[in-house]
Amino acid sequence: MDITEFRESIIAQIRFASSTDGTSDKEEFLNYVSEMLVEAEQLDDMIEFLPFEGIGTNRRKIQIEGYSYNELDDYLTLYIVADLTYGDIETLTNTEANRYFSRARAFIDDAEYITKTAEESAPAYGLAVDILKKYASVRKYCVYLLTDRSMSKNIKEVNSGDVKGIPVEYHIWDINRLYQLSESRSGKEDIVIDLTEFIEHGIPCLPASETDEYIAYLCNIPGSVLAQLYSTYGGRLLEGNVRSFLQTKGKVNKGIRNTILNAPDMFFAYNNGIAATAYDIETNNIDGALYIQKITALQIVNGGQTTASLAMALLKDKKDDSEEKLKRIYVPMKLSVVSPEKAQELIPNISRYANSQNKVSDADLWSNHPFHVRMEELSRRIVAPAVDGHQYGTHWYYERANGQYKQETYKLTDAARKRFEMQNPKTQMFTKTDLAKFMNIRRILPHVASTGGQKSFAKFAEWVSAEWEKGDTRFNEGYFRQVVAMAIIFRQSDKIVKMQPWYNSYKANIVAYTIAKIIYTVNTKYPEYAIDYRSIWNRQGLSDAWINQIVQLSKVMYDFLIDDDRPVENVTEWAKREACWEAAKKLQITLLAEFIKELAYKDVIKEQEKDSRKDQKEVNKISAMVEVANFGVDNWKYLLKWNETHYVLQPTDISFVNAAIAMEKGKFPSEKQCAVILKVLEKARIEGFPK
């Protein structure tokens, strides 16, 4: 697909969506770009659609289409969509770009004026209040201009500015940049860092190891440079699991901060340093020493708190002479250069083992958790019922790693790619953060789902980790079908809400609260009944009764969320509070009679779940036996040989490994023995066993 076809595809999609959903083309374009940026890990969650147009002080025109707040990096981003052109690709001139930037910038400048002149019920009113209060001391503001035009070659760089001392950055996402992102094999916009802009010559390094899969370097990076890199690129430098960990546990480690400020010369001795990966580097030999001068797709997989603490010291502790102290700090860095082809396979493992001996738990690194792997396996195996006259079933594709769906099609022929996309429609793809959102709502936690991608994801991961320890059989085929049913409920509710005459914003919050309120009401008012997720799976859609129920209740939840007596001005922020959900629970509602008729008896649902657990138990037994056999006798023998020099296994562990080795004599270990044998193998792998 060339850039013209790519743009035509976007235009067709947004026109179809706007005509069927009754929304504006600008909202649909914002949603399209938002999805791309979330998939590319440029954003943690979808952009909040919050349209505002008006006239500010000095007759300045004000315009925004949405906003997002990056809690990890502490910056607020406003989004403005340029008028769509529809015909041939037109050029966005420097004058036009500056005009749009000025309109969005005016929203920040005139926030106080907006609070005095706008209706309190207006979606942008709460944001204006937050700019004056909650976001008054953010680290920076960003303005993103989104356009289907091609940026003029005369636009070399957009000058930054500031508002009351807070930096303002301007970014253009034009059709060329969007196209390049769509064609990126990794699914990301790779950061290319010229290290000579931060330090003369670059970073000194020593080659440490080289294999067919990666090249390793040991580096010594000045603390001031690492702090500047993080200040410039923020959370984009952090591998996804590390970013999630920081958002949950906090950016600044008190011990690290104390060393920075009180013992900077001892930092190298006290700190374990960082581990990172990259796709490519450029080096130069200067006076017999090797320096890394450029680095592509740098990702920190261990040491996120070290990095963030250095950056925060640079920003927040200037009164304690932090700038000079950072110059005295050196941070050891282990860098693994991995090709893009191997990245998806190797980087999660590098991250996992780099973090195996610190506070980043399996829950934090849950993209490697067996739950995650099982959901992927089920999504590839289970075929959804054929609907709408199709003569074939399809898969609901669970993306276990970012960009996985795109990777599947990268080397396929056109015919093979079309076949894959027919079997795995893009509309039926869902990510880890999608799953967390769906199931947090299913668990009646709409306020958690409303916190956005990473926070919602982390909370769900904690629950999954705890439940898995109790027994993994609950996560079975029936559970996967329930996940898909929740995806159907959420996505169809999303479309229903957009079509309502009263709708103007807060869609994600309205949808989360509407679905959660339905589930909560069924659980509390009709305890002998339960929602029939299986029927939704079989239908692959919602019945008229479901649709009518969502239409009725979504208006109730919208009115509740925007109520003038709410204790938090910003509706989106209010929806994230547990107090909001507690108040919503108390709303007295009556479910439609036609909806109640479609509920299932709870006893029947429990029997179905019981059967699914039994089936999963049998699958687990077989899977363990197959895995032990497939690992091979030679590898089990090698494990014992490896243990002779590493002393990891206990005598009991060794006896179980010998039971696996006995397969060469025709003696196969039992189901229970196989389960223990695999635990012994995992124990050895954590301690460095290479197989």
Q: Among 105, 121, 6, which residue's Cα sits nearest to residue 57?
A: 105
Residue 372's pLDDT band, with cuts at 50, 70 and 90, is confident
Q: Which pairing describes strands 330-338 and 140-146: parallel, antiparallel, or unpaired? A: unpaired
**β-bridge mates for residue 144, sequence order:** 79, 171
Residue 356: what pLDDT? 53
Which amino acid, one-letter code, is at 108? Answer: I
The token pair that represents 138 in the structure block: 């953010």
Residue 362's pLDDT band, with cuts at 50, 70 and 90, is very low
Tell me the pLDDT of the chain averaged across its residues: 88
The token pair that represents 307 in the structure block: 């990095």
- Which has more pLDDT, 241 or 636? 636
Q: Is the pLDDT of residue 62 over 90?
A: yes
Q: Among 31, 9, 8, 37, which residue's Cα sits nearest to residue 18?
A: 31
Which element (helix H / strand E) includes 229? helix 223-233
Residue 189: what pLDDT? 80
Q: For tokens 């546990």, name the residue.
A: 249
The token pair that represents 463 in the structure block: 């629950």
Residue 136: what pLDDT? 86
Q: Is the pLDDT of residue 160 over 90?
A: no
pTM score = 0.75
Q: Is the pLDDT of residue 355 over 70?
A: no
The Cα 427–Cα 663 span in angstroms is 46
Q: For tokens 């509602």, name the residue.
A: 589
Which amino acid, one-letter code, is at 526? Answer: Y
The region of weakest confidence among 75-79, 192-196, 264-268, 361-365 is 361-365
Ranges of H-type helices in 424-525: 432-442, 446-449, 453-470, 477-498, 507-525
Q: Is the pLDDT of residue 209 over 60?
A: yes
The Cα 15–Cα 11 span in angstroms is 6
For 284-332, how does the pLDDT look when each residue is reduced to its tens digit (9 = 90+)? Answer: 999 999 999 999 999 888 888 888 889 888 888 888 888 999 999 999 9
pLDDT-above-70 percentage for the chain? 94
Residue 447: what pLDDT? 97
Residue 364: what pLDDT? 43
Rg (CA), the chain: 27
Q: Is the pLDDT of residue 149 over 70?
A: yes
The Cα 234–Cα 227 span in angstroms is 10
The token pair that represents 72 in the structure block: 């990890």
Q: What is the 3-state secondary structure (H, E, C) of 57-86?
A: HHHCEEEEEEEEEECCCCEEEEEEECCCCC
Q: What is the 3-state secondary structure (H, E, C) of 548-597?
A: HHHHHHHHHHHHHHCCCCCCCCCHHHHHCCHHHHHHHHCCCCCCCHHHHC
Q: Is the pLDDT of residue 418 over 70?
A: yes
Residue 406's pLDDT band, with cuts at 50, 70 and 90, is confident
Residue 139: what pLDDT? 87
Residue 155: what pLDDT? 86
Residue 141: what pLDDT? 93
The region of weakest confidence among 26-30, 185-189, 338-342, 581-585 is 185-189
The Cα 679–Cα 598 span in angstroms is 44
Four-residue CA torsion sign, 435, 475, 363, 242: negative
Residue 107's pLDDT band, with cuts at 50, 70 and 90, is very high
The Cα 309–Cα 396 span in angstroms is 40
| Mean per-residue pLDDT, 662-681 | 88
Residue 370's pLDDT band, with cuts at 50, 70 and 90, is confident
Q: Among 327, 265, 264, 332, which residue's Cα sits nearest to residue 300?
A: 332
Angle at 412 (CA atoms; ends 407, 413), nearest 5 degrees: 150
For 620-658, how does the pLDDT look when each residue is reduced to its tens digit (9 = 90+)? Answer: 777 888 888 888 999 999 999 998 888 889 999 999 999
pLDDT-above-90 percentage for the chain? 51
| Mean per-residue pLDDT, 527-556 | 96
| Mean per-residue pLDDT, 539-556 | 97
For 452-499, how does the pLDDT look when each residue is reduced to its tens digit (9 = 90+)? Answer: 877 898 889 889 988 988 888 889 899 999 999 999 999 999 999 999
